[in-house]
Structure 1
Amino acid sequence: MSGLEVIGAGFGRTGTLSLYTALNILDGTSPCYHMLENFLYNHKKYWFRANEATTMKERERALKEVLTEKGYKAIVDFPGCVFYEDLMRMSPDAKVILSVRDSPAAWFKSVDKTIFAENTGGRMSFLQMLFPFGLHRYVIRPLIWLPFADFFRMENTIERMFRGAPKDYSQAGMEKCYSDWLEHVKATVPKDRLLVHNAKQGWKPICDFLGKPVPDCPYPRVNDSAEFQRKMLIGDAISIVSIAVFYGGLFYAAKFANAAGFFDCAKKMIIDFLQ
């Protein structure tokens, strides 16, 4: 591993997808890693190892596995941002870009409608409309995710954004989490290695910081809240279909095929879920 050129320390919903797109345009900072890569290439096992590691060496080994797979030169967004200090040790010459919104309130408004909508109560999902009074969370979502129990472990990684403080998804709690994170990054990254960047500033601060020419194209503007919400609603609808297909298949196997095999499968799923 030759090392990263750029480490993004900003939370999601701070222009990270625009930054990801921008870094993939610039010479020397591509390919760039983003949460999208995690889903595309099924990297969750590496992030679980990094989060659950008991030593720095184990954590860095897991992070290295992610970054060397495709020779990434930059990393932004979650989950990489919550490991920025480890990544700085691993790539001591890398520059750090802290992507920000106009204010903590602006950031909360964005996450309230998108990535933390169910935690903050900011979005009435398709499942909530079908299963009110909390049933979607305590009955329906566990049914959806039981076959994919590994994804529950990702929430433990998300908790790193609170830096050991109790999780608080209220507006005040989330805004404090965001503000505390910004201050922590500024306090732990040397000034000559840090750029605080708002997507509204465009190319110039980034290119000046990295010593690269400004591309002859507009700075990327992607991932608006309305589009994110549309995709989330589609995802909820797909989830309903997933329940029907998966549990219908299990019912068929139990009734018409090998009952013993069905219960062995169910037992394994429960054990995996609890681990």
Structure 2
Amino acid sequence: MDTRNIRYFLAVYEHLHFTRAAEQLGISQPTLSQQIRALEAEVGIPLFDRIGKKVVVTEAGKMLKHYGTKMLQAEMDIQTAATELRSGSQGEIRLAALPSDLDFRLVPLFVRFKTKYPDTRLQVISTIFAYEEVLGHKVDLGIGLQGPADDRLTRIPLCSEPYGLLVRAGSKLAGRKRITLADLRSHPLVMYPKGYVGRDLVDETCRRQGFELTTAMETDSAVSLLQLVSAGIGAAVQPVGLIGQNGGAYPDIVAVPLSGEVPVRHLELTYYTDRFLTGAQRELIRWLTDFFAPMRPLP
């Protein structure tokens, strides 16, 4: 089975539209249709149902998506391994990381890593969907919150961090020794929008205690969140370790410990178990596990 035709199939699978898929691939629509028909003849069963102008994936198409993606990844692994052996290059790393950790924690580590391995091509994307990016073969490694069990992935626990309250120094809340989530129902808060992993973790902890927090303002940017706290717009429930590692960029923000039931986030590093890891990728895994080691032990 030709991997070129697998790429054609995956483009149609993604767009569910032959013309748009052909434009992405840089080929004509009739050529794409012909190649898909040839692939269907090879498989022996339709991959798409054409209902008027609508394209629907069949069960055979869903099956081919799973195995076809693995075929393309295997081809990439072979090429990567051969290149590394032939040239001695440190290779390429594609990493997905949570926005807050990328903004406040990981950039200095990447600077040191790039200084030591200048030949390594390092691409880091900021996303709350690190787990999905790894599963979709869009990145080699992902740093995100602990996800559901999946035998396809190797998962390395990095750390567990309790949340605290970040407030502007000098505010009424800043003088508290401890505070509960329930105490915050009457105070203005700035938070991520619903659907973001950090927000959902806080909301779920509150729901278990029978209440819901309201927000004065919401933002999807970790930097903006701290700027809003610094400006006195509201307080934020966040992992206290982030502000502690932010190099004093926000000296007017203090962390107040939470008491009672506290949200805790469990960070992990994930990658496909059966994929080839370059020397650079293995080295970055070691750097990351060492970097987070002081924040253990894990439960």
TM normalised by structure 1 equals 0.27
Q: Which structure: larger Rg?
A: 2
Q: Which has the higher contact order (CA 8 A, sep 6+)?
A: 1
- Give the structure with the higher percent strand: 2
- Give the structure with the higher percent helix: 1
